[in-house]
Amino acid sequence: MEDRFKYGVSLYSFTEDFGSVMSIEEGFDHIADTGATGIEILGETHVTGYPTPDKAWLDRWFGLLDRTGLEPTNMCSWVDTKLRLGQSLSVDEGAAELVRDLTLAHQLGFKFLRPKFGVISADLVPDPIWAPAVERVLDLAHKLDIVICPEIHSPTPINHPVVHGYIDFIERTGTKNFALLIDTGIFQDRPLKSWVHEVPEGDSDHAKLINGMKVNPEELVGIAPYIAFIQAKFHHIDDNLHDENIPWEKVIPVLKRIGYTGYLSSEYEGVREPWVAIDQVRRQHVLLRRLEAACDAVPA
């Protein structure tokens, strides 16, 4: 049905497995077996020979897409504004990083590119070069049919100057090739029980990460036209299919109400051990599909 979500998985979910107990072939198989239709990757992690993979790797990539029937969704990238100590990237250099990744994303068949810009403050205000750098590559993104989507990620809530800045940019340029990616970690409303993140003790951002930002999912309504992609961030779904941190029962109905029909791309970021994420992702797909079916069963 046209008005349904699309289900995907990010290979990032398998960060603790990938490269030591899991190859890219196995990653594809785990994703395909959830019934998902889309695969999300991190360019700099999952593409051997990044940013210019050789023909053998490209053949392998397209062979895996054919074999599993998965479609490439979003490729995550970075604009490393602090590549050098004490000297930030220029606008030219920032635009070149975006060109590099747009080119690769297009070559691999992706429709979305998530650049993570370097930041200049504790609440993750992106380096101001982001806007002129993106503006320079909008024509290329249009030509390649790719939407560039920065992510709204904890500790940045929806109602924040950073998000307002992105929306102002979209309105000012009128572009269809820049939009928002929502990381559902912003809706986390209960503390993580088991995740030890590499952030110093007592840091306030650390507290936000551990306890959750508790953004009200209703706030999605106000930014609905700008949402291009959703990373379905989660940390732990228990043996009773209950998510311990993310209130999906509040998030999913809002997404249905605003008519979102894009991807929900699983992004497991729980306990950092191998062999955990594979089944956690499967649990999440059952949970999300159940909630969607329940919404669909209610006459509008």
Partner 1 sequence: MYEFQLIQSTGFRNHGPEGARDGVEIRLRLPNYRGMRLSLLDGIDVTLDGEFFSHEVTSLIVGGRMYDLAAMRDATTVRWAMGEHASVFVPKPGGLLPGIHHVKVAARVRSPYFPPHLQPLPVHAERLATIVLP
Q: Which stretch binds partner 1 (CB under 8 A): 166-174, 192-200, 226-234, 254-262?
A: 192-200
Task: Collapse the DSSP code of 7 into the 3-class scheme (helix H, G, I; strand E, B; otherwise coil) and give the result.
Answer: strand
Q: Please, which of residues 206-235 interact with partner 1 by CB under 8 A?
A: none
Among 5, 7, 12, 248, binds partner 1 (CB under 8 A): 12
CB proximity list for 154: less than 8 A, separation 6 or greater = 183, 185, 186, 188, 208, 209, 212, 213
Measure the CA dihedral 156/149/249/5, to 10°. 180
DSSP lists the bridge partners of residue 148 as: 113, 178
Q: Which of 153, 235, 236, 285 is catalytic?
A: 153
Residue 39 C-beta: closest distance to partner 1, Å: 17
Judge whether 46 counts as a catalytic residue.
no
Closest-CA residue to 283 (of 295, 291, 272): 291
Residue 46 C-beta: closest distance to partner 1, Å: 7
Instruction: Please say which residue, 48 or 159, places its beta carbon nearer to partner 1.
Output: 48
Instruction: Kindly state the DSSP code that residue 227 receives in the 8-state scheme.
Output: E
Residue 131 C-beta: closest distance to partner 1, Å: 17
Helix axes 161-173, 130-144, angle to 10 degrees: 50
Question: Is 124 near partner 1 (CB under 8 A)?
Answer: yes
Between 263 and 282, how does the x/- string for binding to partner 1 read (CB under 8 A)? -----------x--------
- For tokens 């290979």, name the residue: 11
**Rg for the chain (alpha carbons), in Å?**
19
Instruction: Please say which residue, 15 or 188, places its beta carbon nearer to partner 1.
Output: 15
> What tokens were used for 165?
């800045």
Q: Please, which of residues 16-45 interact with partner 1 by CB under 8 A?
A: 18-21, 23, 42, 44-45
Q: Report d(CA 72, CA 15) in Å as an integer.
A: 18
Residue 96 C-beta: closest distance to partner 1, Å: 12
**Interface residue list for partner 1 (CB under 8 A):** 12, 15, 18-21, 23, 42, 44-46, 48-50, 78-85, 116-124, 127, 198-200, 203, 205, 274
Residues marked active site are found at 153
